[in-house]
Chains A and B, each alone.
Chain A
Amino acid sequence: MFEYIVIAVLFAAACAAIIFAVHTHKKSGKRAEVYDSASFIFEAVPLVLTLWSPAGKIIDCNLEAVRRFGLSCKNDYIERTFELIPENQPPGYMSIRWCFQLLSNVRDDRQLIINVMHYNLSGGQIPMEVSFYKTTYKGKPVILTCASDMRGVYESMQREQQATERSAQIEAHSQAKSRFFARMSHELRTPLTAVHGISEILLQRPDTHADIEEAMAKIHNSSTSLIRIVNDILDLSKIEAGQLSIVREVYEPANLISDIVQTNIILLADKPVNFVVTADETLPCRLIGDEIRIRQVIINVLSNAFKYTDSGEILFSVHCFKTSPDNVNLMVMIKDTGRGMNRKQLDTLFKEYTRFHEDDDRFTEGTGLGMPIVYNLLNLMSGDIDIESYVGQGTTIIINIPQQVPDSEVIGAETAKRLEQFEIGLQKKSSFEPKPMPGGRVLVVDDVETNRYVARGLLSFYELDVETCCNGAEAVEKIREGNVYDIIFMDRMMPELNGIEATKILRETGYTNPIVALTANAIKTEEFSGFDDFVAKPIQSSELDAVLKKFIKHDKSAPEDYYSRPEVREMIRLDFAENHSNAVAEIKAALAVGDTETAQRIAHTVKSLARYMKEDAAASAAAAAESAMLDPNPDAAIANLEAELKKLM
C-alpha cells in the first residue's frame, strides 16, 4: 500500500510540475529560462514522458523512456515506439490510436488516464498507466503523456487482496471447522454410547461365551478410546469457540485422586511399571474449583505418562500450598521414566493437532488433542504447567491450579495412606472366597462410570442382583418407584443430587434399608447421619465383603435353604428325570432340522433347572451349549452337556 501511495504522489507531483512548467512558459515570455526549467523537469522525473502531435505522431521523449526500455537514444525510442506500444493490446488495455480518438473529444488542459500495455525489447509485458494531457506548446497543440510502471503497484495490490481473502477464508474455515467438530462430536456420541453400553452389558453377563467376551472386550476398549477422542474434539472446539466455561463448586480432592487412580490403573496393563501415588496429608478435605476440568487435565497428562512409559516408575503426587487464608495452590506432579521429549517436540506440545503432522512418531496412537486441551483448560482456570523432559530419561510435569478452600479441615494421614495404597480393583483376585448371596439386591450410585464398573465387577462374585445409577436423583427415583434394596452404595460427591442430600431425602420419605456411603475421605460424624456404614474408595474387596456379610442377612440366602429342602430337591430332580432326560437328543433333533431356536430353548431350560438343583457344572455346560448353538460347530459343547447330564442321572 505504501508503495502505491508513494508512486501516486510522485506521479501527481510530476504531472503538476510539467504542466506548471509548460503553462509558465506559455505566459511569461522568458522563453529560454523557463524552457530550460521545463526541459530539466522533463528529463529529471523518473517517469516515462513523451510528447505527441494531436494526430498521434510522437515528437519527443525523455531520458527515462530511453533508460526504462533499454534503448540507446531518444531517436531509438521514437522510431520503435509502436514496437514498445503495439496497437494490438491485451484485454483491459487500450492502444495509442484509441487513446487519441478519445482525446479528440476531450477539451484542452484536460487529462485522460488510460492503461496501456508496453513491451520491452525481449517481449516482456510492462503494464503502464498513461496520463494524456492535452495542451499547447510553442503555439501548437500537443499531447504530453506521462507513463508510470504499475507492476509494483499491481503486485502489492494483488498481494494485499490475496492476503485479505486468505485471512477471511482462514477465519471462515476455522469457524466452520469448529462448528462441524462440535456438531459431529455430538452426533457421534449417541451411537458410540450405545456401542459402549451394549458391549459392557454383554461383558457383564455371566453366560457370555468366552469367544464373544473377548470380542466384546475389544469392542468395549475401542469404543472407550473413541468416546475419549470425540470428547476431546468437542472440548477443543468448544474452547476455540469460547463456549467452555469453568464451573466452580465444592469438591473433595481425595475423591478426585481416587477416581483418577481407578481410571488410570487399567492403562498399566501388563507393563513392568511401578505406579506410585502420594497425597499430602495436609490436603484440604474440600476445595472450590472445577473438579471435572481438573480431572480432565490430570487424566490427560497421566494417560500420556502411561502411554509413553514402558518400564520404570510413574509418580503421581498431589500437594496443596496456602497462598492466603482462603486460597491454595493445588500442585500436581506427574513424573515418569518414559521416552521423554526433545526440544522440537516440547515446542510443539501445546500446538493443536501436532500429532497429525508427525511422521516420525507413528508408533504410539493418539490424536495430539490432549495437551492443547490441558493447556487451554489451565489457561481458563488461571493455572500453569511446567515441563521438564529428557529423551530416554523421562518427563516431569508440574501443574499448579489456584483453588479456594471453604474450611480448614484436612484429609489427614489415614486417608492419605489409603490413597497411596490403592488396590487394583478387578485385576487382583481376592484372597478369600466370596460367598454367593443369590436373591440379594444392591444398588450402586456413582457418577464415575469406571467406579460403577469396578463395583459391579467386585459384586459379580456374589451372584447379587446389581443395579447402578449415576446420581442421587436417579437413586431417589428408583426408590420412589417402589424398589427396595438390601444395600444402596452411595457415592457422596455427585452432580444433580449428591449422596448426602439423596440419603437425607430417602430417610425423610421413610426408607429404612441400609445405605452405605462410598467415600474417599473419612466421614465426619454429622455427615454420617442417615448412612449405616461406609466403604472407602477405592473399594477394597475385603471391606466390601465385610459390608455385604453385615447387611445382606442370612434369610436373604433363603432360596438356597428353600432349594436345599429335601422335598424340593427331590421334586425338581424327579421332574428333570421325567421330562428332561432326553434334552440332548431333543437338541440334536432340533438342530438336524435347522431349528436353532428350539435347540437353544431346551438348553436354556436345562440351564435354569440345573441352577435350581445347584448342579453348577451342568448349568454352565448348558449355558455354553446355549450360546454355542449359533456357532458353526456346536458339537463339542453339546457333547460336554451330554457328559454332564449323564453324571447327573
Chain B
Amino acid sequence: MKAMIVEDTAILRKIMRDILKEFCGLEDGNIHEAADATKAINDYKHTRPDIVFLDISMPGMNGKEAIKHFLAIDADAKIVMFTGSRNETDVKECISAGAKDYLVKPLSPQRVQESVRKVVSSDKLPDILK
C-alpha cells in the first residue's frame, strides 16, 4: 500500500508519516509527501498512491479545489481530507466533490487506521490492519 500526504506544515507531514508507519505498518518508501496541491497533483501521475491524505486549507490551491484534479487523473482516487475544525459544511462539500472520508486534527492514530480500512481495498491493506 502506498500513501501520499499533502500538507503545507512540515511537522504535520512528519507526524502523519510517523502515524502511518507505526499504526498502519507502512514503510518509509511507500509514503510520499507534498507541501502543496500543485506538486501533489503532478506527483500523483507517477506515484499512483492507494490513498491521498489532503489538507483542506493550504496556500495556493486549497484541498477542496485539488480534489477534482486528482479525480481527473484517476477517477478512482481515494482521498481523505484533513480538517482543522469540526465545520461540517466544508467537509460535506469535500465529500460531495468526491473525497471518501475526513480526519479532524489533531490526527488520531485510531481514526487514521479506521479511515485506511474504510477507503483502501482490502487486498492492498497492510497485514496490521487486516
Q: Do A and B come from one complex?
A: yes
Q: Are A465 and B104 in contact (CB under 8 A)?
A: yes
Q: A559 to B87, alpha carbons, bound, how many Å?
A: 20
Q: Which of B85, B86, B109 has the most CB of A within 10 A?
A: B86
Q: Are B15 and A439 in contact (CB under 8 A)?
A: no
Contacts of A207 in B (CB 8 A): 85
Q: Are B110 and A201 in contact (CB under 8 A)?
A: no
Contacts of B45 in A (CB 8 A): none
Q: A563 to B16, alpha carbons, bound, how many Å?
A: 12
* Nearest CB on A from B60, distance (A): 11
Contacts of A571 in B (CB 8 A): 11, 14-15
Q: Tally of A-B residue pairs with Cβ under 8 A?
A: 81
Q: Are B108 and A201 in contact (CB under 8 A)?
A: no
A-B pairs with beta carbons under 8 Å apart, 11 shown = A198-B89, A205-B85, A206-B86, A439-B104, A465-B104, A568-B18, A571-B14, A576-B11, A608-B9, A608-B12, A611-B106
Q: Across the interface, name the chain B residue whose C-beta is closest to A558.
A: B110
- 8 Å CB contacts to B: which residues of A503-562? 555-556, 558-559, 562
Contact of B110 among A205, A555, A611 (CB under 8 A): A555
Q: A571 to B14, alpha carbons, bound, how many Å?
A: 9
Q: A439-B108, A604-B57, A611-B105 are in contact. Are A484 and B86 (CB under 8 A)?
A: no
Q: Are A612 and B89 in contact (CB under 8 A)?
A: no
Q: Across the interface, name the chain A residue whose C-beta is closest to B55.
A: A608
Q: Are A484 and B110 in contact (CB under 8 A)?
A: no
- The residues of B with any CB-CB pair to A shorter than 8 Å are 8-12, 14-15, 18-19, 57, 59, 84-89, 100-101, 104-111, 114, 118-119
Q: A484-B114, A611-B105 are in contact. Are A575 and B85 (CB under 8 A)?
A: no
Contact of B109 among A201, A562, A604, A612 (CB under 8 A): A562
Having A439-B111, A568-B15, A608-B84, one finds 16 other A-B pairs with CB under 8 Å, namely A205-B86, A206-B86, A438-B104, A556-B108, A559-B107, A562-B19, A562-B109, A571-B14, A571-B15, A572-B11, A575-B14, A579-B11, A598-B59, A604-B57, A605-B9, A609-B11
> Would you call A601 an interface residue if the criterion is a C-beta within 8 Å of the partner chain's C-beta atoms?
yes
Q: A598 to B57, alpha carbons, bound, how many Å?
A: 12
Q: Across the interface, name the chain B residue whose C-beta is closest to A441.
A: B111
* Nearest CB on B from A242, distance (A): 39
Contact of B9 among A204, A563, A609 (CB under 8 A): A609
Contacts of A438 in B (CB 8 A): 104, 106, 108
- The residues of A with any CB-CB pair to B shorter than 8 Å are 198, 201, 204-207, 438-439, 441, 465-467, 482-484, 555-556, 558-559, 562-563, 568, 571-572, 575-576, 579, 598, 601, 604-605, 607-609, 611-612
Q: Which of B18, B87, B110 has the most CB of A within 10 A?
A: B110
- Sorted from nearest, which 3 A-B pairs have the closest CB atoms? A439-B108, A559-B108, A575-B11
Q: A441-B111, A609-B9 are in contact. Are A466 and B106 (CB under 8 A)?
A: no
Q: A201-B89, A558-B110, A563-B106 are in contact. Are A612 and B15 (CB under 8 A)?
A: yes
Q: Are B11 and A559 in contact (CB under 8 A)?
A: no
Contacts of B85 in A (CB 8 A): 205-207
Contacts of B86 in A (CB 8 A): 204-206, 465-466
Contacts of B111 in A (CB 8 A): 439, 441, 559
Q: A201-B87, A205-B86, A206-B85 are in contact. Are A608 and B106 (CB under 8 A)?
A: yes
Q: Are A601 and B59 in contact (CB under 8 A)?
A: yes
Q: A607 to B57, alpha carbons, bound, how many Å?
A: 13
Q: Across the interface, name the chain B residue whose C-beta is closest to A197.
A: B89
* Nearest CB on B from A114, distance (A): 81
Q: A206-B85, A568-B15 are in contact. Are A559 and B109 (CB under 8 A)?
A: yes
Q: Across the interface, name the chain A residue whose C-beta is closest to B89.
A: A201
Contacts of B104 in A (CB 8 A): 438-439, 465
Q: Are A572 and B107 in contact (CB under 8 A)?
A: no
Q: Are A559 and B106 in contact (CB under 8 A)?
A: yes
* Nearest CB on B from A492, distance (A): 25
Q: Are A482 and B118 in contact (CB under 8 A)?
A: yes
Q: A482 to B118, alpha carbons, bound, how many Å?
A: 6
Q: A404 to B71, alpha carbons, bound, how many Å?
A: 56
Q: Across the interface, name the chain A residue whose C-beta is closest to B111.
A: A439
